Structure 1
Amino acid sequence: MECIVKFDVVHEQETKSLRGLIFVNEDELPNVNQLTEMLTDMKYEVKADPSDPMRYNPVNPQADYQYIHIRELDTGDKTYKEDRDLKNIVSNLLPSQNRPI
């Protein structure tokens, strides 16, 4: 099954909205490895941000973009969109550092 990946490439002066295509099994969304491979095939050498699974940072510090953000994963049956409002609320409620109790 095809999954259309909609993402933004954030440059210093502008943001470009692009799309990619990944083939996945029925009723599944692509995983981090599949998304990384798709972006690498598109000549974006990236690694996933451990704190945000929808953000990919460039491996090369000389890259002409700051990061890539996955906006939407669409298989036709399922669509995943990040809920930015919920993410902001949760990030404000959770402590920013892990501290012992």
Structure 2
Amino acid sequence: MECIVKFDVVHDHEVKSLRGLVFVDDDKTPTTEQLQDMFKDMKYEVTVDRGDALRFVPTQSPASFQYIRIKELDTGNKKFTEDRDLKGILSNLLPTSNRPI
């Protein structure tokens, strides 16, 4: 099954919105390795950011871009879209220390 990957490549002064294609098993989403291989085929040498599984950073220095951010994974049946506004609101509502509720 095909999965269309929509992502942004963030440069110093601009953001380019691009798409890629990954083949996955039915009802599966692409693995990190599959996404890295897709980016490698597009001449982006990247690794996943440890703090964010949807963000990829360059492995070579200097790089022509700052990072790559996955925006959407579309398999036709299911679609994953990150809601950054909701994520920001939730991160502000969650306690920052281990406090009893």
Q: Normalised by the size of structure 2, how large is the TM-score? A: 0.89
Structure 1 residue ranges without an equivalent (≥5)? none
Q: How many residues align?
A: 97
Q: Which amino acid aligns with 2:70?
A: I
Q: What is the CA-CA distance between 1:87 and the residue it aligns to?
A: 1.5
Aligned to 1:63: 63
Q: Secondary structure at the match of 1:54?
A: strand
Structure 2 counterparts to residues 1-101 of structure 1, below 5 A: 1-92=1-92, 93=94, 95=96
Q: CA deviation at 1:89?
A: 2.4
Task: Provide the rounded CA distance (Å) in 2 between the counterparts of 1:80 and 1:61.
Answer: 31
Unaligned runs of 5+ in 2: none
Q: State which drifts further: 80-89 or 10-19.
A: 80-89
**Per-residue CA distance 1:60-101 (angstroms, 9 max, x = gap):** 120010000000000100100011122212333353xx89xx
How far apart, in 2, do the equivalents of 1:21 and 1:13 lie?
A: 26
Distance in 1, Cα, partners of 2:95 & 2:35: 27
Question: 2 CA distance for matches of 1:71 and 1:26?
Answer: 21
| Alignment deviations for residues 18-75 of structure 1 (CA, whole Å, 9 cap, x no partner) | 1000000001110111111110111000000111111000001200100000000001
Segments of 4+ moved more than 2 angstroms: 89-95
